[in-house]
Structure 1
Amino acid sequence: MGALTLKSFPFELRGWDIEKFESIDPTDGFGLSTRVYISKQQIIQIEPDHSKNTTKIWLSDKGRQFFDGVTTTLNHENNTFKKDFWQRDIKNLLKILYLYDHCSVKTKKTYILTVVFENLGLEMLSLLKILEQSYPLLRLRRDEKSQSTNDLEFNFQLNSATNPNQLKLSTLCLLVSTNPRYEGYNLNLDLRQRYLKGNFKCLSLGSATDLTFPSVNIGTNLQVLKSIAEGNSYVCQDFKGSKNPILIFNNDLCKRTLSAAVIEMIKTFSTANTLNLNWNGLNILSSTLNEVGTLTIENFSALTSKDFKTLSSFYFINVNLQQVPYLKKLTEAKLLGYQESKTAETPRIPRLLIDQNSSRTDNKGFWEFSLKTLDFKQYSFFPTKMFYENEEVFLNTEGLIKRTSRLITKRKTRDGWKLLRNLIKNLKMSHNCLNIDNKLVLSFSLDNHNKFSTFVNFQFRAIEKLENVTHSLTSKNQPFFIYRTNQFKSKVVKLENTKLKYFIDDFFSGGKDQYSRNSLVLANCSKILRTQSTNFF
């Protein structure tokens, strides 16, 4: 028996100690199938799934090595759930909500609870939306603004770029402010395979990057895109001679200041005379797994300075406070010694900040440095289960449903939806004024008499048309002109000649997922990458 133990084998190769599970990759917007190896509640290795159900067997280095950040989250001492602390914090929140409801009735000022979220599944988003519609004291916000339109699905997801049949018939691709090699490696593989088959040309508008296959860079600013939309660029010859061209741009383009005008200019390609009337080649690439699912439910507003100036407490769910744009500006202003002038005196109601996250990270330190100046007297942390401890449903950038399974049950934490459900239960049991079932008297707090009459008629009269009782909503018909393209003329918008992307984010540690920035392995990979090349254009 001694001869069998003389040779030391790597721990990863001991199959009798390792369990194998199927999951998805949370580092990009596709959520490809992966195979996770776990030993003693620790992730050992992640590799692409080789099952019969998957046709694309590929995984990036980031998707293989990010689990180091998950291990850091699991081993932190402050990331365990303590029931006594949670009951104390919930009791404080209920008291504050009671004061908000009381002061809102006695005064004309509104007191609300702002819920800021990111990286949530469809179940949590649906539950939060129901809460917002049920309780007037609740308001939902995202950490970043996005001017995407969610009236139709093809306005915020990939349509033809990943469809094998449509990509096979295409001979031209235009990339606008996107790098599919870093932001969607699955899409980059499809484009590379299409190029190797021949009769395919790729144009890039933005930073010059290596896509692992030849591409032509046509510029970096919006003036080039404007000239293409007007038909005054030499690139229009490529569109004229191509078949089924594909146009791909990133979802981050929708977060620019003039993104609405840029998107409308991109949509003019669908009305060009050189393209087919049934052409559907506009594609939006999302770099996160939850972006498409969030837009499917509603286009939520972003967190702004107005939300902090109102009398409200904040409930952050899976949000890193250091990544919120407004809080970054607030920190910079404090470092420069800027102090905002205070307005008139308001009732001194304590403001509470609740952080519901899988790890504490640096949110508490950021609160102590920046948010104490905004009269946030208390910080509460609710540890929740992380990605591999939850069973969630996501909608990827292709519009496909992706499900996660529970692989690790190590920490004493709660599911995020269970915390919200217990919060609703305590709201109904503790304060009857916050229970919507007990509110039998309807209230309307607007000074406009026309709007008040409209509200009363909608509530207590059966009508066939809105114009029968709401004369204020009736307006005269305005003439409009129908052009040859059968499209309404859009309004004139001033377009600034700015660059689409000055530099690209770090591939390893610059992702928007919760674990890449906490991974030590990815941090070392980022250091090596920065020494070998530069990320500036």
Structure 2
Amino acid sequence: MFEKSVSEEEVHWNDFFEYITESIYFLDHLNLQKHNPLSLIIAFENVSLEVVNMLYLLEQSCSNITLKKAENHNISNDFESFYQIDSSSNKSKLAMSSLGILLNTNTRYEGYVLNLNMRQRFLKGDFKLLSIGSLLDITLPVSNLGSNISVLKSIGEGTHLFCQDIKNSSFPLLISNTELFKRKDSKYLIKILKHTNIVSTLWNGLNVLSHSISSSGVSSLKSFLPISSEDFVNFFGLYFINVSLESVPNIKKLIELQLLNSVFNTNNTGYRVFIDQNNNTNNKEVIKKMETRHEIDTNYFHLPNNLFLEDNETYINTQGLVKRVTKLINFKKDSKNNWQIIRKFYANSKNLSYLNNSKDGNLLNFDCINIFNYKNYINFHFSATSSLTSLSYYLNKTNKPITRNLNTSLKETKIKIFNTKLKSWLDDFFMGNGKDSFSYNSSVMSKNSKIIRINSSNFF
């Protein structure tokens, strides 16, 4: 793992920041002559609260920088209950419930603490668990209702066989994950619950498991749009942070379907900049294939960053708890942490005066020289504090989710649901469910993958 993380070429950090600052300066002047201005797209994945706040400040200060998520999740962040779990993680609320519904999720893999709490609740008695999705073993009895989304639709209409059990149950729970929000009709699935007693004026049984430890913190700050094919129409460069072009499904789909082919064949084809802020250089091979296929000139920069256990970072998990990662190892190599790289990028951008947006020079920005003061500023973003002291950040343990009643009297539009099967939950990460670049190279994980495929079958 450490051998592949070492960069093949020496990184000249000062030269890179000078080059990218000059490029943004000339890019801003060229945009005055263009009807569709060019932009630098920054796509991120699995970043801490410190980094996502710094990226947000960078997007505000630079008029030609666009911030995008690498993964495509159309999830609403109006209330914390839309992307966090509340009622199922609270043992007192879980004890009052007599029914739980799993919607295309595997709590044994995605939320082991939640799975243990449900197992303890089941052993106490008077608790039934239903499942909509793949047949999975979560160490407690589950009644599978099917794998089609029409099952949820029939429950909302009151025509399903188990509607009587849901109606007679007390404080029912529904547990889903962020993978469900990749569907085009995901925003209508939540509205179906208002016809059941899962969401009422006194009870909110909706719980959403996050696909990564950083997704809840990103959703708490802002609803970032995912990167799409429209973003590649007018762009000067791509800046990837902790993004693997071969593992992230959204990016991989854009490349495999050759959505970039129509872009590079236009008249805007020219010089492009690709910045890869990652701990390995696996993306360099994909970019070289794009160069030879589309005959474009690119300038590739690899900025090696630290691994997960080499930084002191902060996250908000799916329960709303503030988790702080402690530095465990110190591997000597030519790498920096994400906070240092983005902070230097942000400091250089403050020296530029943008012509296309005169308001950028008047924006109030935080002086982020000291990391401890900056963490207090981040805490001010996510929770209400009486004073910004040196201990206010470390005293914050959790955020209290804000819920909303879905039973409204306003007239809403018609709900359109696609009667398609839910995505089969693969219990084997090696078959395409893993997103990190190290598990594929692990011999232990490969052997476990073969054992799972031999002892279990999950086909329809």
| 1:130 Cα deviation after fit | 0.9
Over residues 60-90 of structure 1, what are the superposed CA-to-partner deviations in whole Å (9 max), with x where a residue is unaligned?
xxxxxxxxxxxx1x23363389452x33333
Q: Is the 8 A contact 1:184 1:287 kept in 2?
A: no
Q: Which residue of 1 aligns with 2:61?
A: 134
Q: Is the 8 A contact 1:427 1:434 kept in 2?
A: no
State which of 204, 216, 231 in structure 2 corresponds to 1:280: 204
Distance in 2 between residues matched to 1:110 and 1:338, nearest whole Å = 18
Mapping 1:310-459, distance limit 5 Å: 310-333=234-257, 340=262, 345-346=267-268, 349-360=270-281, 362-370=282-290, 373=293, 375=296, 377-412=298-333, 413-429=335-351, 431-433=352-354
Q: Which residue of 1 aligns with 2:215?
A: 291
Distance in 2 between residues matched to 1:358 and 1:242, nearest whole Å = 50
Q: Is the 8 A contact 2:270 2:297 kept in 1?
A: no
The one-letter amino acid paired with 1:516 is S
Q: Which residue of 1 aligns with 2:129?
A: 202
The answer as to 2:149 corresponding to 1:222 is yes
Distance in 2 between residues matched to 1:382 and 1:373, nearest whole Å = 25
Moved more, 245-254 or 517-526: 517-526
Over residues 150-207 of structure 1, what are the superposed CA-to-partner deviations in whole Å (9 max), with x where a residue is unaligned?
1111111001111111111111101111111122222111111111111110010111
Mapping 1:152-163, distance limit 5 Å: 152-163=79-90
User: In structure 2, do the counterparts of structure 1 residues 487 and 514 end up closer, same or farther at CA, with 3 Å as the change threshold?
Assistant: farther
State which of 443, 450, 456 in structure 2 corresponds to 1:527: 450
Task: Decide which structure has the larger Cα Rg and report it.
Answer: 1
The answer as to 2:243 corresponding to 1:243 is no
The answer as to 2:190 corresponding to 1:263 is yes
Q: Report the secondary structure of 2:301's partner residue.
A: strand
Q: Which residue of 2 aligns with 1:102?
A: 29
> Equivalent pairs: percent with the same residue?
37
Distance in 2 between residues matched to 1:282 and 1:393, nearest whole Å = 26
User: In structure 2, do the counterparts of structure 1 residues 401 and 513 end up closer, same or farther at CA, with 3 Å as the change threshold?
Assistant: farther
Q: Which residue of 2 aligns with 1:171?
A: 98
Q: Which residue of 1 aligns with 2:366?
A: none
Over residues 21-45 of structure 1, what are the superposed CA-to-partner deviations in whole Å (9 max), with x where a residue is unaligned?
xxxxxxxxxxxxxxxxxxxxxxxxx
Distance in 2 between residues matched to 1:417 and 1:342, nearest whole Å = 33
State which of 198, 207, 211 in structure 1 corresponds to 2:138: 211
| 1:436 Cα deviation after fit | 8.4
User: In structure 2, do the counterparts of structure 1 residues 268 and 144 end up closer, same or farther at CA, with 3 Å as the change threshold?
Assistant: farther
| 1:145 Cα deviation after fit | 1.7
The one-letter amino acid paired with 1:381 is H
Over residues 292-312 of structure 1, what are the superposed CA-to-partner deviations in whole Å (9 max), with x where a residue is unaligned?
111001111111111112132
Q: Report the secondary structure of 1:409's partner residue.
A: coil
Q: Is the 8 A contact 1:288 1:513 kept in 2?
A: no
Q: Is the 8 A contact 1:206 1:221 kept in 2?
A: yes
Over residues 375-412 of structure 1, what are the superposed CA-to-partner deviations in whole Å (9 max), with x where a residue is unaligned?
35121100011111101110000000000111111223
Higher relative contact order (CA 8 A, sep 6+): 2
Distance in 2 between residues matched to 1:262 and 1:92, nearest whole Å = 47
Q: Any stretches of 5+ residues in structure 2 without a counterpart?
A: 364-406
State which of 409, 413, 428 in structure 2 corresponds to 1:506: 428
User: In structure 2, do the counterparts of structure 1 residues 109 and 508 end up closer, same or farther at CA, with 3 Å as the change threshold?
Assistant: closer
Distance in 2 between residues matched to 1:408 and 1:350, nearest whole Å = 39
| 1:269 Cα deviation after fit | 3.1
Q: Which residue of 2 aligns with 1:60?
A: none
Distance in 1 between residues matched to 2:256 and 2:161, nearest whole Å = 44
| 1:284 Cα deviation after fit | 0.6
The one-letter amino acid paired with 2:311 is N
Distance in 1 between residues matched to 2:459 and 2:252, nearest whole Å = 22
Q: Report the secondary structure of 1:75's partner residue.
A: helix
Q: Any stretches of 5+ residues in structure 1 without a counterpart?
A: 1-71, 443-484
Q: Which residue of 2 aligns with 1:482?
A: none
Q: Is the 8 A contact 1:508 1:525 kept in 2?
A: no
| 1:365 Cα deviation after fit | 1.0
Q: Is the 8 A contact 1:174 1:204 kept in 2?
A: yes
The one-letter amino acid paired with 1:397 is T
Q: Report the secondary structure of 1:394's partner residue.
A: strand
Distance in 1 between residues matched to 2:111 and 2:340, nearest whole Å = 33
TM superposition score normalised by structure 2: 0.82
The one-letter amino acid paired with 2:449 is S
Distance in 2 between residues matched to 1:338 and 1:399, nearest whole Å = 38
Distance in 1 between residues matched to 2:260 and 2:336, nearest whole Å = 40
Superposition RMSD in Å: 2.9
Q: Report the secondary structure of 1:265's partner residue.
A: helix
Q: Is the 8 A contact 1:428 1:434 kept in 2?
A: no
Q: Is the 8 A contact 2:217 2:316 kept in 1?
A: yes
User: In structure 2, do the counterparts of structure 1 residues 333 and 219 end up closer, same or farther at CA, with 3 Å as the change threshold?
Assistant: closer
Distance in 2 between residues matched to 1:352 and 1:149, nearest whole Å = 32
Q: Is the 8 A contact 1:135 1:434 kept in 2?
A: no
Q: Report the secondary structure of 1:369's partner residue.
A: helix
Over residues 196-237 of structure 1, what are the superposed CA-to-partner deviations in whole Å (9 max), with x where a residue is unaligned?
111110010111111211110111111111111111222111
